[in-house]
Structure 1
Amino acid sequence: MAELALYVRLEAKPGKEAALEQFLKDALEKAMAEPETPVWFALRFGPSAFGIFDAFPSENGRQAHLNGEIAKALLGRADELLATMPQIELVDVLAAKLPA
């Protein structure tokens, strides 16, 4: 079971909402290539509020993701897309229902 997770809150710059949404949609391909990231969601909470939730079976997987391609790409475009730096929370998964 993926017991460790990340919750990342993202706030788009005014006028960059569509670009951030597309960035997150495009990031799915990179997430699919991460063997230690079995759970990955890109989220939209409102007009400019977005997020990422992902879960991992080990701390090594979580750290690999934090140092991986999605994080590098997001930080590389942070000045362009984000109103504030990403708010990253390390969280524990207490229970989950996932497809087999």
Structure 2
Amino acid sequence: MSLQAHAADSADSQAKTALWVVMDAKNGREDEVAKFLIGGKAVVLDEPATSSWFAVRLSKSRFAIFDTFPSEAGRDAHLSGKVAAALMAKAPDMLQRPPSIEKIDVLAAKLPNAK
């Protein structure tokens, strides 16, 4: 088995691809960014192809989103969904610069109810 095939087999079937999105809030807008991210959870709950979604605070003004998907199609659907659209619309007001959005592959995962 090749290393790439082994890595794909190690990832949970619901978490093969992911996004890592980093955002730097403008000075004084940190609470607004935090509230926006907390509110985003309700929207992603309605996305069947989003397996997991985490909004985190890395420092006083730096935030990130890490989310996983079973496939490239699921990730693309999320990127064209409501949370992404709302983030891009609010980014100029809330963020120092556009968010850094990285498409990443999951090598291994442990999710609830996974074997």
TM-score class, shorter: over 0.9
Give runs of ≥4 in structure 1 deviating > 6 Å: none
2-structure distance, mates of 1:79, 1:4: 28
Q: What is the aligned-residue identity percentage?
A: 48
* TM-score of the aligned structures, taking structure 2 as reference length: 0.85
Residue ranges of structure 1 left out of the alignment (5+ in a row):
none
1-structure distance, mates of 2:81, 2:103: 16
Match of 2:17 in 1: 4
Give the CA deviation at 1:6: 0.3
Q: Tell me how many residue pairs correspond in the alignment.
A: 100
Computed over aligned residues only, the root mean square deviation of the Cα atoms, in angstroms, reads 0.5
Higher alpha-carbon Rg: 2
Match of 1:42 among 29, 42, 55: 55
Residue ranges of structure 2 left out of the alignment (5+ in a row):
1-12
Give the CA deviation at 1:80: 1.0
Matched, 1:94 2:104: no
Matched, 1:25 2:16: no
